[in-house]
């Protein structure tokens, strides 16, 4: 149960803990949870459960008695499988000892933030962004500095000069999430090269959140810092099993960086979660080695979902959006609707669809709504029909 607002314990908490913001996505979710027949598009996940070939490996592991303390960095098998997956995806060699298994992409972000920034430091975050990014930076004691993306005829764009101008002597990190949640903005290889050059000159660490690397609609994967970086670059890559392999509820992801950070990362894992359960790592290893056709099928579904939603909404003439190049969200504005927090609640009541309000995504997001389109064509068509009908009568 929540502490009463005047409970004496609250006044003794660290400011970073006390001021950690409530997620604006969860707020609407709590409002609409349990509504009969509601089509949820507010969360960042698809509608498919984890496939059997993956979860059966977890069952086998438990049956085999793998229930003891685990390796903090990840069991050797998953670290080798991560290296193989990256070699296939990026067409270059990867060493297994650069991979560290974490409790979801979220813990990878948290460890990355803690390693680079603390009290008095700043981290640049292009915005609108997934709220957990700025919140994790804040909880680490540092200040997230939002750098607004622009929304115009070319869709969402990041003005690199504006990004670089936001850096100062306190800037310790630049957080680049590409393809991006919620906008779908995807950095080009030239963007990544320019950001990397700037970070090199200033000694700034890049946190590269590439969790949507496969959800890219122009090629098999999005441009990556792996395409432009050298081994000595200061980059912490954040990734997850959640999206590619429909494993959001498992809470398993990975950090990828120089093996030189191995002991530090092992310590931070030891003193937080003490590692990810071995049976989950076994399942994730199978996902990496045998999950390629499942990933492709999911991306294909998301592409169809995107096309259905975009075509339906565009036909109403009442919405503003740029067709997203990557990730699996449509971030759209509705003419005449500026209070998207209230609008998200109204759409629950009046259209029986669950969307995330743009107010949850920081600077520049307030006039937009986020809809996740990673689901079956039938479900996307039904959700689109409801939204279109609401737009025509509201």
- Contacts to ligand PLP by CB under 6 A: 44, 104-106, 130, 177, 181, 209, 211, 240, 242, 248, 253
Q: Could you tell me the smallest distance in angstroms from the CB atom of residue 187 to ligand PLP?
A: 13
In the complex, residue closest to ligand PLP by CB: 105
Give the nearest distance from C-beta 106 to ligand PLP in angstroms: 3
Nearest distance from residue 103's CB to ligand PLP, in Å?
Answer: 8
What are the structure tokens assigned to 181, written together?
């949640």
In 10 A of CB 370, how many CB atoms? Answer: 27
C-beta closer to ligand PLP: residue 156 or 391: 156
**Shortest distance, position 179 Cβ to ligand PLP, whole Å:** 9
Q: Report the residue number, 134 or 240, with the smaller CB distance to ligand PLP.
A: 240
CB of 104 to ligand PLP, least distance (A): 3
Kind plus residue range of the DSSP H or E element containing 306? helix 292-316
Instruction: Report helix angle 52-63 to 278-290, nearest 10.
Output: 140
161 by Cβ neighbours in 10 Å (0-12 / 13-18 / 19+) ranks as exposed
Give min distance, CB of 19 to ligand PLP, in A: 22
Q: Which one, 239 or 388, has the nearer CB to ligand PLP?
A: 239
Q: Which residues pair with 144 in a beta bridge?
A: 123
Q: Which residues contact 222 (CB under 8 A, 6 or more apart)?
A: 178, 179, 186, 187, 210, 212, 213, 214, 215, 216, 325, 326
Nearer to ligand PLP, 225 or 391 (CB): 225
DSSP state of 326: B
The smaller minimum CB distance to ligand PLP, of residues 155 and 253, is found at 253
Q: CA–CA separation, 93 vs 356, rounded Å?
A: 39
Q: How far is the CB of 247 from ligand PLP (least distance, A)?
A: 8
For residue 63, count CB atoms less than 10 angstroms from its CB and return exposed for 0-12, middle for 13-18, buried for 19 or more: exposed
Q: Which is nearer to ligand PLP, 105 or 358 (CB)?
A: 105
Query: Measured from the CB atom, is 175 or 386 closer to ligand PLP?
Result: 175
C-beta separation of 306 from 298 below 8 A: no
Quote the least distance from Cβ 132 to ligand PLP, whole Å.
7
Distances (CA, A) of 270 to 100, 118, 147, 186, 257: 12, 20, 34, 34, 18
User: CB atoms < 10 A from the CB of 133, how many?
Assistant: 26
**Closest C-alpha among 267, 329, 339, 365 to residue 41:** 329
Instruction: Answer for the pair 78, 245: CB distance below 8 angstroms, yes or no.
Output: no
Min dist. Cβ of residue 250 to ligand PLP (A): 9
Nearer to ligand PLP, 344 or 351 (CB): 344
Residue 204 or 211 having the CB closest to ligand PLP: 211
How far from the centroid of its chain's Cα atoms is residue 55's Cα? 23
């Amino acid at each position: 149960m929540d502490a009463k607002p005047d409970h004496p314990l609250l006044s003794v908490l660290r400011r970073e803990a006390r001021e950690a913001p409530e997620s604006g996505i969860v707020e609407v979710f709590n409002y609409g949870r349990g509504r009969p027949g509601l089509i949820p598009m507010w969360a960042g996940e698809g509608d498919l459960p984890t496939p059997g070939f993956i979860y059966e490996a977890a069952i086998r592991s438990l049956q085999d008695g793998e229930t003891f303390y685990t390796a903090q960095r990840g069991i050797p098998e998953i670290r080798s499988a991560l290296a193989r997956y990256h070699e296939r995806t990026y067409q270059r060699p990867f060493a297994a000892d650069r991979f560290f298994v974490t409790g979801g992409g979220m813990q990878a972000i948290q460890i990355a933030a803690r390693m680079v920034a603390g009290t008095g430091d700043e981290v640049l975050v292009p915005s609108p962004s997934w709220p957990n990014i700025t919140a994790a930076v804040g909880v680490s004691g540092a200040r997230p500095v939002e750098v607004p993306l622009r929304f115009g005829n070319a869709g969402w764009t990041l003005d690199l000069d504006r990004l670089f101008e936001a850096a100062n002597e306190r800037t310790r990190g630049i957080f680049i999430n590409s393809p991006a949640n919620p906008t779908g903005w995807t950095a080009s290889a030239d963007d990544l090269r320019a950001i990397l050059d700037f970070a090199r000159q200033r000694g700034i660490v890049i946190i590269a959140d590439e969790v949507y690397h496969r959800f890219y609609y122009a090629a098999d994967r999005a441009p990556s810092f792996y395409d432009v970086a050298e081994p000595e670059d200061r980059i912490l890559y954040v990734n997850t099993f959640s999206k590619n392999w429909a494993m959001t509820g498992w809470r398993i992801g990975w950090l990828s960086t120089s093996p030189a950070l191995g002991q530090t990362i092992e310590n931070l894992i030891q003193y937080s979660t003490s590692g990810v359960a071995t049976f989950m790592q076994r399942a994730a290893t199978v996902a990496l080695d045998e999950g390629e056709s499942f990933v492709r099928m999911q991306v294909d579904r998301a592409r169809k979902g995107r096309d259905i939603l975009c075509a339906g909404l565009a036909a109403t003439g009442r919405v503003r959006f740029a067709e997203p190049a990557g990730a699996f969200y449509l971030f759209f504005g509705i003419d005449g609707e500026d209070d998207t927090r209230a609008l998200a609640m109204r759409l629950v009541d009046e259209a029986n669809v669950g969307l995330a309000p743009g107010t949850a995504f920081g600077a520049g997001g307030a006039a937009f709504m986020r809809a996740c389109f990673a689901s079956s064509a039938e479900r996307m068509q039904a959700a689109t029909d409801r939204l279109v009908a609401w737009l025509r009568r509201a």
